[in-house]
Every structure is written in C-alpha cells, then in structure tokens.
C-alpha cells in the first residue's frame, strides 16, 4: 500500500495525524527542516524554513525559524500532541555555495538551540556538509529517512516575478 506523499515546500509546514499514513517530503540545501512526532498521540509534522530570523519584515512568515517552529508546534498541539512528549529530528543546513556566508550553519544552530530552550527532546540531527538532501517523514511512526542528492536540477518554468520585485545574482 502506497502512502500519499505531501511535499513540504520552503516556508511551509504540514501536520498529519489519524489512522491513515502519509509521507511528508522535502528537499533541503541550506534550509532546515525540523520533524516532530508525539508517539502517544501519533501526530507528526515537518517544517521547512529558509532563515533563522528575519527582523521586522519576518512578520509571522514560516520562512523564518522561530515562526516555523511555533506554527509547527501549535499545529501538532491542535491535533492532540503534548509539547513534553515531542521527539525532534533536524535536517539540512548545508553549505551549498562555498565562500558565501554560511546561512545553513546558522539555520541548523538556531533549530538545535530552539529545541534545547523549549526542552523538546532532540532524537537525531543531520546537518551541514555540502550536499542537498531529501527528507521523508512517515506520519504514523515518526520515522524519517534522509537521502543525499549529489546534483540538484531544477525543472519547469521559472517562478513568477512579483511586480516591482528584482532578484540580483
């Protein structure tokens, strides 16, 4: 039986519970994903954040670590999870472009410190390195699988550009 796959994209999170099973999947470079699971309530969730913090412009965007973590934890609690029972795994935080500031390390450091400060048990962390990774979280068991990707190829049309928005490379 194939479980449905739910893609967790940058700046998003997803929570799954219930009798059915699904796979939460994301692909990470310097971004970080935190997977949380409550083994009693059998509730699982995954986020995918781009930056540890964002200053005043961050608002309540899940693109930033503190917001992504609070949204994920609150989503789990709405489905019956208890903060004290949560088990965490942290993935990502790679250095994708050598020589630039190490956003990945800052993201990973934030995630681990957040979990420590909130007394959420960190079961496993796989961060850093120079390769992208695909992370899959099975909602019924809270087990995550990580696959390293040697080469990332983006396909499809480029994303739409907002009016007045310019990206500098």
Q: What is the pLDDT of residues 48-72, one digit of tens each?
A: 999 988 655 555 678 889 999 999 9
Does pLDDT of 169 surpass 50? no
Question: Domain of 88?
Answer: 5-149
Does pLDDT of 114 surpass 80? yes
| Confidence tier at 78 by pLDDT (50, 70, 90) | very high
CATH of the domain at 69: 3.30.1330.200
**pLDDT at 151 (0 to 100):** 66
Q: What is the pLDDT of residues 115-126, one digit of tens each?
A: 999 999 999 999
Q: Per the domain annotation, does 158 fall within a domain?
A: no
**pLDDT at 102 (0 to 100):** 87
Cα 127 from Cα 33, distance rounded (Å): 10
**pLDDT at 106 (0 to 100):** 94
Q: Per the domain annotation, does 163 fall within a domain?
A: no
**pLDDT at 53 (0 to 100):** 80
Greater confidence, 66 or 150?
A: 66
Beta-strand (E) ranges in 29-165?
A: 32-38, 43-48, 87-92, 121-127, 132-138, 144-149
- Region of residue 40 (left: phi > 0; alpha: psi -120 to 50; beta: else): alpha
Q: Per the domain annotation, does 167 fall within a domain?
A: no
Give the distance, in angstroms, between the CA of residue 95 and the centroid of all CA atoms in the same chain: 16
Q: What is the mean pLDDT of residues 22-47?
A: 97
Q: Per the domain annotation, does 168 fall within a domain?
A: no
Q: Per the domain annotation, does 160 fall within a domain?
A: no
Give the distance, in angstroms, between the CA of residue 51 and the centroid of all CA atoms in the same chain: 11
Collapsing DSSP states into helix, strand and coil, what is residue 78? helix
| Confidence tier at 168 by pLDDT (50, 70, 90) | very low
What DSSP string runs through 26-50?
Answer: EEESSSEEEEEEETTTTEEEEEEBS
Q: Per the domain annotation, does 157 fall within a domain?
A: no
Q: Per the domain annotation, does 36 fall within a domain?
A: yes
Phi, psi of 167 (to 5 degrees): -100, 130
Name every residue whose Cβ is closer than 8 Å to that of residue 135 and which is 6 or more positions away in sequence. 25, 26, 27, 28, 33, 35, 46, 91, 92, 144, 145, 146
Domain count, the chain: 1
Q: Per the domain annotation, does 144 fall within a domain?
A: yes
**pLDDT at 150 (0 to 100):** 81
Q: Which helix (DSSP H) or strand (DSSP E) does residue 72 occupy?
A: helix 65-78
- Show which residues are catalytic: 31
pTM, two decimal places? 0.85
């Amino acid at each position: 039986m194939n479980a449905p796959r739910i893609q967790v994209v940058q700046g998003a999170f997803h929570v799954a519970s219930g009798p059915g099973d699904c796979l939460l999947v994301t692909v990470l470079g310097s971004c970080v994903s935190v997977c949380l699971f409550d083994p009693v309530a059998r509730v699982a969730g995954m986020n995918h954040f781009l930056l540890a913090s964002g200053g005043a412009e961050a608002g309540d965007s899940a693109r930033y670590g503190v917001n992504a973590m609070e949204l994920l934890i609150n989503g789990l609690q709405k489905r019956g999870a208890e903060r004290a029972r949560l088990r965490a795994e942290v993935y990502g935080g790679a250095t994708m472009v050598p020589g630039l500031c190490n956003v990945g390390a800052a993201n990973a450091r934030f995630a681990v410190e957040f979990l420590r400060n909130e007394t959420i048990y960190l079961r496993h962390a796989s961060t850093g390195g120079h390769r992208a990774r695909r992370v899959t979280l099975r909602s019924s068991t809270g087990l995550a699988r990580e696959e390293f990707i040697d080469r990332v190829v983006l396909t499809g049309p480029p994303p739409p550009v907002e009016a007045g928005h310019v990206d500098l490379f």
